[in-house]
Chains A and B, each alone.
Chain A
Amino acid sequence: MTADHVSKWYGQVIGLNDVTVNVPPGITGLLGPNGAGKSTFMKLITGQLKPSKGTVTVLGEPIWGNPKLFFRIGFCPEQDSFYERMTGMEWVTALVRLNGFSDAEARAAAERALTTVDLMDAAKKRIGAYSKGMRQRVKLAQALVHDPEVLILDEPLTGMDPIGRRKTMRMIRDWAKQGKSILVSSHILHEIELMTTNILLINNGRILAEGNVHQIRDLIDTHPHTVYIRAENPRGLAREFLTRADVISMRFEPGAVVVETGKPDEFYARLTELVAEGSCGSVSEVTSPDDNLQAVFKYLVKS
């Protein structure tokens, strides 16, 4: 999947801004906070939106106005898109018939897909009675049912319980092993990391970074890192940190000190020493707000 100088405007609002990116085979995670342009990118990649500028190519062919490519693509949208009075089996069967399957073949394919997503037991229940996780899985089944080469999954893990998430992530990894190319979006870095190391970071309609997640993290580590320390004696800790060159700034919060450091590895080592020495009392909590994706974006946007 390739986007070449792709922009998309919605009237005065820009959804995607001059994006040039190449999505390689395998699993690629599309990461970005809400409103970053992930869904716009997904809709452009699936040919549901026409780019205002530039071209989107999937499997070597332009996707816009090329519905025969849809035989080779499976799309799982973020929103619920089904008739709640239909059963899962009826819904998946009806949709796969749009791919040119006969009634009998469609039924067999739907059974296979529902079995794959572990939903065969509930296949004859109405979708209206499905839990959020089951709805996500039935959407995955319709994306998979016609055996596409490319799977585009928009926030497929939203609303799933932890076991469901784990199963779905394993399923996605299995599909990739079978040779499918998968683009999966999420706003949770951790989820994507469990599926792939190849990511695309998007924010404000622009691609911020692409490639191996470790390389991107290394890049992030050159930026100031924030550490929140809840301690018995935060002022004593702050006095110790003041002597260190890597500490850029500090501020106090009730019962805690928040430190900004340029060398997180050295800082954590020193903090461990201080706690071991016990000279500044006990430390009850050490967290880094930087571990969330929003902070990663903040750093990348600042750079």
Chain B
Amino acid sequence: MSPIHDQSYRHYEGERRPLGRAWTVIAATGMRSLLARKWFLAVLLLAWIMFIVRTVHIYVVTMYPTANQMLPIDARMFMQFVEQQSMFVFFVTVFCGAGLIANDRRANALQIYLSKPLLRMEYIGGKLAILVSFLLFVTLVPALLLLMLQVMFAGNLDFIKANLYVIPAIVLACLMRVTVASCAMLALSSLSKSTRYVAILYTGIIFFTEAMFGVLAVVTGSTRVAWVSISANLENITDVLFRQPHRYDAPVTVSILVLLGLLAVSISVLERRVRGVEIVS
């Protein structure tokens, strides 16, 4: 062997993952980067406080059945839990989602990313996976865990058998919240290079639609206008999923259409904004 080492470039001869899996790199890198931030971990942990409270509730009611009259364990309780988690859905969406695309746009990173074997769909999918994973971690995971704890504490499947619809209701209600929040936030994030601006815009949209519904409800004296509020639309559909009395007079089909419209707009914005080269006409 020569004592002088070869300093020239050595060609890579290893295996390469095929095209179509680069989204996992985007997702894993994004998750790692967020989990390295202490404040984000704090938000995630805070989001589980209601789970602990509900666990105690279920335990007490299971151990002392008389408490069931005051704090019943029923579909409504699970619906309330999912809705209480909406607050954390908002915080996680703002903290985690605002910078997902905005930071890449600020750093001009999209140009480099999309010159690699990475489809635009994969890029968006990877970013979506980050937000969806964290949001499911604060909604679907604790809700299903709560259901499992109920079975464990009770030692039987009586509750599940009597309320079988609760499982799909929990899954659908959580997925609906997560999908709407993720797509809307990702679309907003693609519109700006400023994380702060995106966070303010998202907060503004949520609170503005809520306020508008409040004003219109007072003016018209009816809740038929609930469709103008994103939160009210989610609650309207959740009522149906959990077979609960309707809180609003707005038809559920209108709420579904409004949310589908919001998703369509978000996808259209993402399609236009996520490009390697920004074209200014």
Contact = CB atoms under 8 A, between A and B. Distances in A.
Contacts of A116: 9
B277 A10 contact: no
B115 A48 contact: yes
A105 B14 contact: yes
A82 interface: yes
Most chain A CB inside 10 Å of its own CB: which residue of B8, B12, B109, B275: B12
Contacts of A144: 9
Contacts of B277: 43, 48-49
Interface string B108-125: 110111111111000000
A146 B277 CA distance: 22
A144 B8 CA distance: 13
B187 to A, nearest CB: 21
Interface residues of A, number: 42
Contacts of A101: 12, 14, 16-17
Interface residues of B, number: 36
Contact of A77 (B103, B112, B117): B112
A67 B10 contact: no
Interface string A55-81: 000000000000110110101010111
Contact of B115 (A13, A75, A82): A75
A144 B280 CA distance: 30
Nearest to B9: A116
Contacts, number: 102
A70 B111 contact: no
Contacts of A13: 281
A94 interface: yes
Nearest to B116: A98
B107 A82 contact: yes
A142 interface: yes
Most chain A CB inside 10 Å of its own CB: which residue of B107, B112, B114: B112
Given A98-B117, A100-B117, A48 B16 contact: no
B110 to A, nearest CB: 8
A95 to B, nearest CB: 6
Interface string B206-238: 000000000000000000000000000000000
Most chain A CB inside 10 Å of its own CB: which residue of B10, B103, B107, B275: B107
Interface in B124-155: none
A11 interface: yes
Contacts of A105: 12, 14
A72 to B, nearest CB: 9
B109 A81 contact: yes
A81 B25 contact: no
Contacts of B18: 100
A71 B9 CA distance: 18
Given A48-B111, A82-B107, A100-B22, A112 B10 contact: yes
B108 A109 contact: no
B33 to A, nearest CB: 9
A252 interface: no
B12 A147 contact: yes
Most chain B CB inside 10 Å of its own CB: which residue of A11, A75, A81: A81
A77 B277 CA distance: 11
A10 B29 contact: no
Contact of A98 (B107, B108, B118, B275): B118
15 contacts: A10-B281, A43-B277, A47-B115, A67-B19, A68-B117, A71-B16, A79-B111, A81-B109, A81-B112, A84-B107, A98-B22, A98-B25, A100-B17, A100-B22, A175-B9
